[in-house]
Amino acid sequence: MFPLDSTWNISFAGCGFLGIYHIGVASCLQEQCPFLVHNARHIYGASAGALTASALVSGACLGEAGANIIDVAKDARKRFLGPMHPSFNLVKIMRSMLYRTLPPNAHHSATGRLGISLTRVTDGENVLVSHFNSKEELVQACVCSAYIPVYCGLIPPTLQGVRYVDGGISDNLPQYELKNTITVSPFSGESDICPRDRSTNMHELRFTNTSIQFTLTNLYRVSRALFPPDPQVMKAMCKQGYKDALHFLKKNGLLNHQGPHRPLIADGEEDDIIEDDDDEEHEERLVQNEIRPIEKESAVAPSESKSNSEDHIFDHLPPRLHKGRMDRNKIIHRINNTLYLRTVEQKNG
Return d(Cα 225, Cα 290) in angstroms, integer.
16
Please check whether residue 91 lies inside any domain of the structure: yes
Does pLDDT of 263 surpass 70? no
Please check whether residue 146 lies inside any domain of the structure: yes
Please check whether residue 2 lies inside any domain of the structure: no
Structure confidence by residue, pLDDT tens digits, 64-79: 999 999 999 999 999 9
121's torsion region: left (phi>0), alpha (psi -120 to 50) or beta?
Answer: alpha
Least confident of 42-51, 107-116, 190-199, 291-300: 291-300
* Whether 309 is catalytic: no
Collapsing DSSP to helix, strand or coil, 56 comes out as: helix
pLDDT at 339: 46
* Whether 47 is catalytic: yes
Please check whether residue 341 lies inside any domain of the structure: yes
Please check whether residue 3 lies inside any domain of the structure: no
Q: Within 13 A of 52's CA, how many CA atoms are on the CB side?
A: 37
The active-site residue, picked from 27, 47, 117, 188, is 47
Mean pLDDT of 48-62: 97
Please check whether residue 170 lies inside any domain of the structure: yes
Please check whether residue 1 lies inside any domain of the structure: no
Mean pLDDT of the chain: 81
Please check whether residue 4 lies inside any domain of the structure: no
Q: Which domain holds residue 305?
A: 9-348
Least confident of 129-138, 147-156, 185-194, 280-289: 280-289
The count of structural domains within the chain is 1
Structure confidence by residue, pLDDT tens digits, 279-312: 445 445 544 555 454 334 333 333 333 344 344 4
Binned at pLDDT 50, 70 and 90, residue 82 comes out as: confident
Residue 38's CB is within 10 A of a number of other CB atoms, namely 12
The active-site residue, picked from 109, 166, 197, 230, is 166
Closest CA to 22 of 137, 191, 167: 191
Supply the pTM of this predicted model: 0.78
Return d(Cα 116, Cα 55) in angstroms, integer.
12
pLDDT at 262: 44
Structure confidence by residue, pLDDT tens digits, 180-227: 899 999 999 999 999 998 876 677 788 888 989 888 899 999 999 999
